[in-house]
Amino acid sequence: MVSWILSAGVRRVSSVLRRFSSVVSAGSARSGSGCQERLCPPLLSGDVDRFGGVTVRDFPPDISEDEFSELLRVSLSRWRSDGRVAAWLHVPIALSRLSAAAAHLGFSFHHARRDEAVLSLWLGPGEDRLPAFATHQVGVAGAVVDESNGKVLVVQDRNKTTNAWKFPGGLSDLGENIGETAVREVFEETGVRSQFCSLLSVRQQHNHPGAFGMSDMYLICRLSPLSFRIDFCTQECLRCEWLDLTELAKTSETTPITSRVARLLLYGLENGFQNIDLTMEQMPAVYSGRFYQLYHRRLPETP
Amino acid sequence: MVSWILSAGVRRVSSVLRRFSSVVSAGSARSGSGCQERLCPPLLSGDVDRFGGVTVRDFPPDISEDEFSELLRVSLSRWRSDGRVAAWLHVPIALSRLSAAAAHLGFSFHHARRDEAVLSLWLGPGEDRLPAFATHQVGVAGAVVDESNGKVLVVQDRNKTTNAWKFPGGLSDLGENIGETAVREVFEETGVRSQFCSLLSVRQQHNHPGAFGMSDMYLICRLSPLSFRIDFCTQECLRCEWLDLTELAKTSETTPITSRVARLLLYGLENGFQNIDLTMEQMPAVYSGRFYQLYHRRLPETP
């Protein structure tokens, strides 16, 4: 049964692929093995990257699992003999059956987003040296400190069993800077407008609940208020207050990390925030013309 | 043609699902709509989470795309009328054809790893409020400073066009702490053993080349050497040296961030590393019994 399907499948590969001659011929033309093109078996066409991996993005849209399996098997054999170290398949969600076929030949999911899955297979010598996909979600909280009276803006989550005071915050959207997340989340949760001053702390936690088995990087920023009237989000928060930093630093109605950062802020308030801040600077990336944000202790001005 | 396939598909759903009665009956039993079970259409069975989402992990293994499409359509209708706010499908790679069927009903990839894809669909009112998957890869570099002579361990990458001095480093493996990555990468690249002292800087960069469209968090740690003999990895590095910090701080043969951190280290060497360090403390997580790592400026001991 299986062999019949396979055999029928192989035949159909040829006819399907004749219809997708651009897909095939690019692969065949690139192979350069010297065989006459009509005698070469059809191959998937891919782009070779500078690391020696091949990436396939075009697939015949009505190819069956079995047909694709045979096409991929032949292509893998060629890529291996050509010394390719890895194969990447960018499979549109509508063609997901091809991912099942690829899995039979050793591929696994590298990642998937929205309407595309990316599968990979290491073909080189030794162990898999492919770079992994993103491993961390990034959460940011904002400690808005009113220097005029030593108060800080805190909330209690609606969804938690223990109602502990904490700084408003939440997950960064893709592409959002740390400080942007802090300012946005503070406004969404409390109605208070603020601006970014510095980074105060970094927490790393693995296997984080709610991170789908991945890790969490949680950053707390110091913000300064631009408005003071609280209009908090009742969906997310049970309470929201401007609380004395001295009180937050000693209350047991808070989380260990909030308590720690409250003490840090209190020290900064009394001795200067330069003692606790990591300042941010925007710098140009070498290769791309884009910018990145660098945070570290402020250096004294060079003379 | 489509209607025939669908109609044949629906019939087969019933027979397939009779064979997977546990899958179906759990869903039907949970529905509590008061209809007699034999009259209810078959439903996918899922677990309801505390946010009101339903997660399906069990699928009939030989169901077709069309059969699954009908089963999912009926299940979605029930979930919507039951007030579920989201649906999650954990689809094994071998059943990837089901992802294509789900996409036709509005699902998209939330994420995928190894042999499983997770698809999601927001069913609640208003805009999608599902938490996103991990957005950042984490890279860590280690600046190994020999305090006895003011030298720091630097490398030049083999694969870069400009041969600039930089600190050895690389991507964190999933579940690896920041300091562990620094120590491991330094050893793999240079052969030098070291121990973690502190975190010095954090860089965030979006749409990072090599991060598959995601963001990059790059952290530089200060390490102290436990051995000094260099035995560098010729696959990764072109050169590896113990270089004077003063020279690294002023050379143009380096990257802007390395230069900046060299100046920071020089300041620390001359005025005390407590001026530049973020110290690490391991703390217990409130809810899980696990531990996390917290980094911030050291607080003076409380009296």
Q: Which of A95, A209, A294 sits opposite B257 (nearest CB)?
A: A294
Q: What is the mean predicted confidence (pLDDT) over A72-92?
A: 97
Summarised one tens digit per residue, pLDDT across range A154-206 is: 999 987 767 899 999 999 999 999 999 999 999 999 999 999 999 999 999 99
In sequence order, the 6+-apart residues with CB closer than 8 A to the CB of A148 are none
A86 is written with which tokens?
Answer: 């890895």
- Chain B residue nearest residue A297, CA to CA: B276
3-class SS at B94? helix
Does the beta-carbon distance from B96 to A99 stay under 8 Å? yes
- Whether A72 has a pLDDT exceeding 80, the answer reads yes
Instruction: Give me the phi and psi of A77, to 5 degrees please.
Output: -60, -45
Q: What is the DSSP string of B126-190?
A: SS--PPPP--EEEEEEEEEEETTTTEEEEEEESS-SS--EE--EEEPPTT--HHHHHHHHHHHHH
Summarised one tens digit per residue, pLDDT across range A141-163 is: 999 999 999 999 999 998 776 78
**Residue-range domains of chain B with CATH:** 20-122 (3.40.630.30), 136-296 (3.90.79.10)
A81 in contact with chain B, both atoms CB, cutoff 8 A:
no
A279 in contact with chain B, both atoms CB, cutoff 8 A:
no
- Chain B residue nearest residue A201, CA to CA: B296
B46 is written with which tokens?
Answer: 């899922």
CA distance A183 to B207: 21
Instruction: List the pLDDT tens digit at each of the 303 positions of chain B.
Output: 223 222 333 333 333 343 333 343 334 434 444 444 455 668 999 999 989 999 999 998 889 999 999 999 999 999 999 999 999 999 999 999 999 999 999 999 999 999 999 999 999 999 999 999 999 999 999 999 999 999 999 999 987 767 899 999 999 999 999 999 999 999 999 999 999 999 999 999 998 888 999 999 999 999 999 999 999 999 889 999 999 999 999 999 999 999 999 999 999 999 999 999 999 999 888 666 788 999 999 988 654
In sequence order, the 6+-apart residues with CB closer than 8 A to the CB of B93 are A99, A100, A103, A108, A109, B114, B115, B116, B117
Which value, to the nearest 10 degrees, does the dihedral of the CA atoms of residues B237, B242, B247, B248 take? 50
Q: What's the pLDDT score for residue B161?
A: 66
Residue with tokens 């809810």: B287
CA distance B162 to B156: 9
A69 is written with which tokens?
Answer: 């399996």
Chain B residues near residue A103 by CB distance under 8 angstroms: 93-94, 96, 115
Chain B residues near residue A110 by CB distance under 8 angstroms: 112, 212
Does the beta-carbon distance from B93 to A108 stay under 8 Å? yes
Question: What residues of chain B, 21 to 40, have a C-beta less than 8 Å from chain A?
Answer: none
